[in-house]
Structure 1
């Protein structure tokens, strides 16, 4: 992505979550993600790994895979969770931050 300045997403952050299911469709032999039945069986307290992307000022993207503990499963199908990892490259996030995500953002279930 060619961007001369920091990209801000609609939720006013400089990162976005990967759609792991789209990536799997594009690269089925190298990328895995949970099945719908595995995702349906998730419950509060489970850990899931999400892929965070951050566009940088240097025309690149930093990628960090981090564990999030599910706090709420919402009626609209979204999830709220708590970051259970100390980010190494995405500075605006810290362990304990609340993260909202959808099933397509889930890369791995612990």
Structure 2
């Protein structure tokens, strides 16, 4: 089965808060003998619905952003690849390393911290209203996001809401970053202004309707 290397830079741009990209600092430290992980994309979809394998490659040569490596895994699906095959790749293809990366802590936060969101927000890929309650646990940020188009029947069905990583919400709109961890914003409500599109605080919002 034919394959090509996926550009992790492109994937990170599409989902910057849920797709980890090694920092420039880490990439600059890579040397011969280090292991890096690459995404090998198949031209056809596998039987299980996937179309890629992530595998480790040992660096044999480096010339700035150009690398030559040796495949350090035996592929499970890609029969055209074998353990020990030579792989030409660039820094834009490296999705993981074995080096410590300070920037990875941000990604841990985006994955570990959770918010609640209406399914309509995910369908429309937008939100226009958000509330914050006291968090239920160490992972919960307390935020609930709505599209603003939900009706009473929608609200009445708990299956219309789900808990997701905050990173997934940030991929939709990262203007919420300034609100996320502010301890002074418990029991507050915000709405997107229809004209300016800015998020504004709603004063004296009646939280008793959620009790």
Task: Say whether 1:33 aligns with 2:21.
Answer: yes
How far apart are 1:57 and its partner, in Å? Answer: 7.7
TM-score by length of 1: 0.81
Distance 1:95 1:37, change over 3 A: same
Matched residue, 2:38: 50
1:20 aligned residue (8, 12, 18) = 8
- Alignment partner of 1:95 is 2:83: yes
Q: Greater CA radius of gyration, 1 or 2?
A: 2
1:41-80 alignment to 2 at 5 Å?
A: 41-56=29-44, 62-74=51-63, 77-80=65-68
Per-residue deviation, 1:82: 0.3
Q: What CA RMSD, in Å, does the superposition of the two structures yield over aligned residues?
A: 1.8
- Which runs of 5 or more structure 2 residues have no equivalent in the other structure? 99-211
For each residue in 1:53-72, what CA deviation from the matched residue of structure 2 results, as whole angstroms up to 9, or x when unmatched?
A: 011288x8620000000000
| Residue aligned with 1:65, SS | strand
Match of 1:9 in 2: none
Deviation at 1:48, TM superposition (A): 0.2
Distance in 2 (CA, whole Å) between partners of 1:99 and 1:34 is 19
CA separation in 1, counterparts of 2:74 and 2:91? 22
Aligned residues: 96
Q: TM-score, normalised by structure 2?
A: 0.43
Once the two structures are TM-superposed, the CA of residue 73 in structure 1 deviates from its matched residue by: 0.2
Q: CA deviation at 1:30?
A: 1.2
Aligned structure 1 segments of 4 or more residues deviating by more than 2 angstroms:
none
> 1 or 2, which has the higher helix percentage?
2
